[in-house]
Structure 1
Amino acid sequence: MFSFSLITVLCLSAASIFASKVVEGSQPVLQKTVEALFKERSEVMYPGSCKIIRSSLRQSRMCVREPGLHKILVTAKEQAINACEETFQYDRWNCSLVFNRKARRSVFNKIYRETAFIHALIAASITHAVAKACASGDMTRCSCLGSFKKNTTFQWKGSGCGDDFKYGKKFTRNFLDFKHAGADQIGEILKQDVVVGVDAIGEQMREVCKCHGFSGSCTTKTCWKRLGPFNSAMGLLKKHYHHAVKKKIVNYTTKRAIAPKVRKRTNVDRKNLVYFQKTPNLCLSTKGRVCKDRDNCATLCCGRGFVTKKKSVSSRCRCKMVNCCFVQCDTCTQDVDYYVCK
């Protein structure tokens, strides 16, 4: 009886250790790259061809083949972080790297809901940046993708240029070394989170058309696929964040492939983000945060209340037309209220 209890305790300890060691040296390229791109908030450049991250051999070769890739990665990093901070600025988690300053718990210590979201976010941003770079000509190993359709037999040379989402998706998987992210449960789940992020970009594809003909008629129409701004995908990504599914770690004592029976038990809807650990209490990190309005304070301030302050805001006012075509405005200043969590 004692030995059975001892084995049980040891197994549970192993589970805890394994779950908290996802950032060790044996960490796959996928996790290292996502963490590096989200953590690095400065303009520091690293040695090597990729410059923006400490790249793996595979990534270095990709950056050598595509000299402008490091600029595209900079774009991907910046648009991901900026969009995240703008979207979550009035949420308890505002895309910070630690959940609260006192505990110093990093968002990457375990696989929290926020960790799953970041993996989807970075994958989505790389896919978007690469697809756009293909259309603009900033990447030389792909080209703009035009799904041109003509509704008449009139011959016209297409000049429309579509965003190559298909190439962006393929590139993201290769750059993150998707195949070698691990066949254990953590690897399988993080790959699913990446796929959710990439697919969120694919859902933003829209058809853009241009008419051609005499006197503004549309005798010929040329159409191609185009992505919207990256921020247009944030609504869907945030929805995935709120609907993320928590799963228990089943195969936690080893990183070998999951057995078919275990894989069947751990399956979830492939359209959902998945995480393992419950997010620590975020209320400790909201002190001093600015609310969007009084109603937002009720949630953001965790019931502690808020302080009303005033600030001066300048805006254009009393505008009038001068000399036919020139608009002249005054600058008006007024005091407005804003709210800060206690």
Structure 2
Amino acid sequence: MRGLETLAAAAAAAYLLLVLPAHAYFGLTRREALIQFPVLASSTNPAHGKAHLKQCDLLRLSSKQKRLCRREPGLAEALRDAIRLGIVECQYQFRNERWNCSLDGRSNLLNQSFKETAFLYAVSSAALTHSLARACSVGRMERCTCDDSPDLENRKAWQWGVCGDNLKFSIRFLKNFLGQRKVGKDLQAKVDMHNTNMGIKAVKNGLKTTCKCHGVSGSCAVRTCWKQLSPFHETGRLLKLRYDHAVKVLSTSNDAMDHSELARPQRHGRLSKGTAALRPTDLVYMEDSPTFCSPSKFSVGTAGRTCSREVNCDSMCCGRGYNTQSRMVTFACHCQVQWCCYVECQQCMQEEVVYTCK
């Protein structure tokens, strides 16, 4: 069985594109295509009744996952939020790269073991972890509430309108939902699982304790503390850094134990056998990535992409050169605050030079 197949989606007009073809974790295969379905209203609104059941039915889930989804009215919405969160952050982090996290070629990428595949696994599991923890703290999920750390006073937290993000429940629920299994000799599954767990750890490492003082004249007679997740953009930046330093792994066979392991190449061609050399914070991959310069089954290439002449045109345009075009753009200028309640601006125009790859 293979590891988690990445959740990947984008909000486009009134639709979300959802990739939920999965092996081991989601109980599906890698042959599923993109699914398109309308954005549904929040299931937490009583007026929508059993709307969450319809949302669960629209997701490609295993039988077990669908049962869990139907029992958790807020889960489908949390999954939808995770999809949006993951794809938006992925596209932001790769906005200046040849591969820009486009949905085009996504399913083919997920069949490989590139650095980009590793990032998709990590950012998707991180988005799931983050969204589930936040869903608990804002009251969307019926079976969880604020963080229940023994050193925090949840009752006071609720009283003051502060609720800790419940990361412990999120991780515990996620492991049950994904149904992690032993991967045996499947090296690709080992890689996928490692990158999935790395995404979860990235969110966990960003958890911090925030405190607020209450009392007369600003004194700290009462101190309320809660657990708070870092903004997901910080997690995305960390994952992009791990992508930039991703580790290529090889496979070795352990005949005595009758199983295969991952190995990290060392200097002078030597191998460090076993997984001990791999850090839990490493993103790992097994195959060299394509250039993403020309249209292929993995991407549409970089022709027509906007670039910055000083920063990345040479790299993004793959030596083909770029076109230069001038255009006039309108922007707000000479803004002034008017008595008492609004800002008044003039409309100015300026010439803007745009560079696009040939």
TM-score if structure 2 supplies the norm length?
Answer: 0.75
Q: Matches of 1:233 and 1:324 in 2, distance apart?
A: 40
Taking a change above 3 Å as real, the CA distance of residues 182 and 39 of structure 1, as seen in their structure-2 partners, is: farther
1:29 and 2:25 are equivalent in the alignment: yes
What one-letter code is carried by the residue in structure 2 that aligns with 1:68?
G
Taking a change above 3 Å as real, the CA distance of residues 168 and 277 of structure 1, as seen in their structure-2 partners, is: same
Cα offset, 1:52, TM superposition: 4.4
Alpha carbons 1:245, 1:272 under 8 Å: kept: yes
Q: Matches of 1:157 and 1:269 in 2, distance apart?
A: 39
TM-score if structure 1 supplies the norm length?
Answer: 0.78
Cα offset, 1:43, TM superposition: 3.5
What one-letter code is carried by the residue in structure 2 that aligns with 1:213?
G
Which deviates further from its counterpart, 311-320 or 86-95? 311-320
Cα offset, 1:335, TM superposition: 1.8
What one-letter code is carried by the residue in structure 1 that aligns with 2:64?
R
1:157 and 2:163 are equivalent in the alignment: no
Q: Matches of 2:166 and 2:31 in 1, distance apart?
A: 26
1:295-306 alignment runs, 5 A limit: 295-306=311-322
Cα offset, 1:186, TM superposition: 1.9
SS in 2 for 1:54: coil
Partner of 2:267: none
Partner of 1:5: none
Alpha carbons 2:187, 2:260 under 8 Å: kept: no
Give the alignment's Cα RMSD to 1 decimal.
3.6
Q: Matches of 1:262 and 1:69 in 2, distance apart?
A: 35
Cα offset, 1:220, TM superposition: 2.1
Q: After superposition, what is the alpha-carbon deviation per residue over 1:23-66, rounded to whole angstroms, capped at 9, x for unaligned?
A: 9x993234849997x95565489997623421111101111220
Aligned pairs, number: 309
Q: Which structure has the highest strand share of the two? A: 2
1:61 and 2:77 are equivalent in the alignment: no
Partner of 1:269: 279
Which runs of 5 or more structure 2 residues have no equivalent in the other structure? 7-20, 41-51, 264-272, 295-300
SS in 1 for 2:307: coil
Q: After superposition, what is the alpha-carbon deviation per residue over 1:231-259, rounded to whole angstroms, capped at 9, x for unaligned?
A: 221110111112221222446xxxxxx73
Determine which of 231, 244, 247 is the counterpart of 2:246. 244
Partner of 2:17: none
Cα offset, 1:214, TM superposition: 0.4
Taking a change above 3 Å as real, the CA distance of residues 70 and 262 of structure 1, as seen in their structure-2 partners, is: closer
User: Percent identity of the aligned residues?
Assistant: 36
Q: Matches of 2:260 and 2:61 in 1, distance apart?
A: 36
What one-letter code is carried by the residue in structure 1 that aligns with 2:238?
L
Cα offset, 1:292, TM superposition: 3.8
SS in 1 for 2:312: helix
Partner of 2:129: 127
1:92-171 alignment runs, 5 A limit: 92-98=98-104, 106-145=108-147, 147=149, 157-159=156-158, 160-171=162-173
Which runs of 5 or more structure 1 residues have no equivalent in the other structure? 1-17, 151-155, 252-257
Q: After superposition, what is the alpha-carbon deviation per residue over 1:141-175, rounded to whole angstroms, capped at 9, x for unaligned?
A: 1111155869xxxxx93333100111111222222
Which deviates further from its counterpart, 216-225 or 139-148? 139-148
Q: Matches of 1:81 and 1:295 in 2, distance apart?
A: 24
Structure 1 segments of 4+ aligned residues over 6 angstroms from their partners: 33-36, 44-49
Q: Matches of 1:31 and 1:303 in 2, distance apart?
A: 43
